């Protein structure tokens, strides 16, 4: 048993001062230090007078298999980026072996992330994730818009899903990703969602990420028209967006991006058990614009980095800084608190893991972060946490310090 006594605890909704947290693998009590020391006389006491404790972050959308990318892919505009992924993936994928993925997972962890949702396109990341101390939902992805190749694509998905399933533990779960409405044939998407329903697995899908996706799905026009004609000889989209959304009505789903979703689609998503995953840096770099957070309310949303295929970092503190500056109409101190709450409690909820809250009975997934010495107003702590943190001092998963 350990007792941590920081200057502040962010639960994350509340700021507690003059409180300590006692934990082994789980949080046993939160209360005044003296009371906890009396109650747990054998516990090791750690004084952190210039630090705060908050829950670990959840980063529910990233692509570990592309972690070798730094400057191989073309940023700026979605379709040229997609062409560059197709052109360079044979070179990029082998450059990220298990060691490279383990390194990416380590970066996530030392930067305060304790739970992730990783989209797995090829199954190359299963072992690294299964061995990691992080809590992982591994989204085995299905893709394929050509009906002639549907059986082959489905067999590949199923093989990876079952391989992943065999490695399941309390921390590692097999989940399902349907790539997107433009890239997965309706029948194939339906079969994958059926598996998720049967196995009670979490689902993730990219939806309305780009203007090109909007135009293609609405009218079969725009930049995707020449893309599909050239690469696949395809002249029409394979999904109606609303029919596609309907597939997810009975499963818990993370809808990733949603920048170009229309009112009807948002109403549909609001009626389901779903969370929107907001990746502001990725959206910025690929020229997809900024998600309108007022327009998506009341659908819950959470933050994610996306992969290193469309970001320069997997550090969620960088994503929080970007979110703060990409939503200039939000009052900064209130919005900083909202971002922290959504990246801890909200992210854990979206991933279906217990945690993200500092409360008796919850897993001890925690981070200790230094506070600026000159902080005057405790209520400003959320904003300064985002502005001044690159990396926490310590990161605990189930009570074990990994940083
Ligand atoms: Zn993605």
Query: Which stretches of the chain score pLDDT less than 50?
Result: none
Residue with tokens 């893991």: 353
Strand 2-10, strand 20-23: pairing: antiparallel
CA of 302 to the centre of ligand 1 (A): 14
Dihedral class, residue 240 (left if φ above 0, else alpha if ψ from -120 to 50, else beta): beta
Containing structural domain, residue 221: 57-351
pLDDT for 25 = 98
Same domain flag for 20 and 70? no
Question: In angstroms, what is the span from residue 63 Cα to ligand 1's centroid?
Answer: 6
pLDDT given for residue 281 in this prediction: 98
pLDDT in tens, 102-121: 999 999 999 999 999 999 99
Radius of gyration over alpha carbons of the chain, in Å? 21
CA of 305 to the centre of ligand 1 (A): 9
Residue 192 alpha carbon to ligand 1 centre in Å: 18
State whether residue 122 is helix, strand or coil.
Answer: coil
What b-and-e string marks burial along 57-68, b requiring 16 or more CB atoms within 10 Å of the CB?
bbbbbbbbbbbb
Q: How far is the CA of 304 from the centre of ligand 1 (A)?
A: 9
74 in the same domain as 36: no
**What span, in angstroms and rounded, lies between the C-alpha atoms of 143 and 108?**
27
Q: How far is the CA of 179 from the centre of ligand 1 (A)?
A: 8
pLDDT tens string 75-94: 999 999 999 999 999 999 99
Q: Are 76 and 82 in contact (CB under 8 A)?
A: no
Q: How far is the CA of 143 from the centre of ligand 1 (A)?
A: 13
pTM: 0.97
Verify that 220 and 365 share a domain, yes or no.
Answer: no
Domain with residue 385: its CATH number is 2.30.40.10
The pLDDT value recorded for residue 403 is: 80
Q: What are phi and psi of 153, to 5 degrees?
A: -65, -40
89 and 33 together in one domain: no
CATH of the domain at 135: 3.20.20.140
Burial (CB < 10 A; 0-12, 13-18, 19+), residue 226, is exposed
Please tell me whether residues 48 and 62 are part of one structural domain. Answer: no
Q: What is the pLDDT of residue 123?
A: 96
**376 and 312, same structural domain?**
no
What is the structure's pLDDT at 107? 97
Same domain, 84 and 39: no
Question: Environment class of residue 287 by beta-carbon count within 10 Å: exposed (0-12), middle (13-18) or buried (19+)?
Answer: middle
Same domain, 347 and 385: no
Options 48, 209, 213, 223, the catalytic residue: 209
Total structural domains within the chain: 2
Q: Based on the domain organization, do 33 and 61 belong to the same domain?
A: no
Print burial letters for 370-379: b (CB count within 10 Å at least 16), e (below 16): bbeeebeeee
At which of 315, 332, 351 does a domain end? Answer: 351
Is residue 117 located within the same domain as residue 25?
A: no
180 alpha carbon to ligand 1 midpoint, in Å?
Answer: 10
Residues 43 and 148 reside in one and the same domain: no
Q: Which of 351, 374, 389 is the last residue of a domain?
A: 351
CA of 78 to the centre of ligand 1 (A): 12
Q: Strand, helix or coil at 244?
A: helix
If you measure from the C-alpha of residue 88 to the centroid of ligand 1, how many angstroms do you get, rounded to a whole number? Answer: 17
Distance 186 CA to ligand 1 centre (A): 19
CA-wise closest residue to 205 among 295, 293, 73, 117 = 117
Per-residue model confidence (pLDDT) at position 142:
98
pLDDT of residue 320: 98
pLDDT given for residue 167 in this prediction: 98
**C-alpha 117 to ligand 1 mean position (Å):** 10
- Annotated catalytic, 48? no
Q: Do 335 and 273 belong together in one domain?
A: yes
């Amino acid at each position: 048993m350990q007792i941590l006594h920081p200057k502040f605890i962010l639960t994350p909704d509340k700021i507690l001062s003059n409180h300590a947290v006692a934990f082994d693998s789980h949080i046993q009590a939160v209360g005044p230090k003296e009371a906890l020391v009396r109650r747990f006389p054998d516990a090791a006491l750690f004084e952190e007078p210039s630090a705060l404790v908050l829950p670990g972050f959840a980063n529910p959308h990233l692509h570990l298999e592309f972690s070798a990318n730094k400057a191989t892919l073309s940023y700026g505009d979605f379709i040229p980026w997609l062409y560059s992924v197709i052109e360079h993936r044979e070179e990029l994928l082998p450059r990220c072996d298990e060691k490279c993925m383990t390194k990416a997972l380590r970066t996530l962890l030392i930067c305060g992330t304790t739970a992730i949702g990783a989209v797995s396109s090829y199954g190359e990341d299963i072992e690294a994730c299964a061995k990691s101390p992080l809590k992982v939902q591994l989204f085995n992805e299905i893709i394929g818009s050509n009906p002639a190749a549907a059986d082959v694509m489905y067999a590949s998905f199923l093989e990876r899903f079952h391989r992943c399933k065999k490695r399941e533990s309390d921390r590692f779960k097999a989940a399902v990703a349907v790539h997107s409405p433009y890239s997965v044939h309706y029948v194939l998407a339906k079969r994958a969602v059926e598996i998720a329903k049967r196995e009670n697995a979490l689902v993730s899908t990219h939806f309305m990420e780009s203007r090109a996706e909007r135009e293609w799905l609405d009218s079969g026009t725009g930049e995707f028209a020449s893309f599909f004609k050239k690469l696949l000889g395809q002249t029409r989209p394979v999904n109606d967006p609303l029919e596609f959304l309907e597939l997810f009505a009975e499963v818990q789903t993370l809808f990733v991006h949603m920048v170009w979703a229309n009112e009807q689609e948002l109403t549909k998503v609001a009626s389901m058990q779903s969370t929107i995953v907001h990746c502001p840096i990725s959206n910025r770099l690929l020229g997809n614009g900024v998600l309108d957070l007022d327009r998506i309310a009341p659908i819950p949303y959470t933050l994610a980095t996306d992969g290193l295929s469309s970001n320069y970092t997997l550090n969620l503190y960088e994503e929080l800084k970007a979110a703060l500056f990409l939503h200039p109409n939000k009052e900064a101190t209130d919005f900083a608190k909202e971002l922290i709450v959504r990246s801890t409690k909200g992210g854990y909820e979206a991933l279906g893991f217990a945690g993200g809250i500092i409360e008796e009975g919850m897993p001890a997934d925690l981070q200790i972060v230094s506070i600026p010495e000159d902080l005057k107003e405790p209520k400003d702590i959320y904003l300064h946490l985002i502005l001044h943190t690159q990396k926490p001092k310590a990161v605990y998963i189930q009570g074990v310090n990994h940083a």
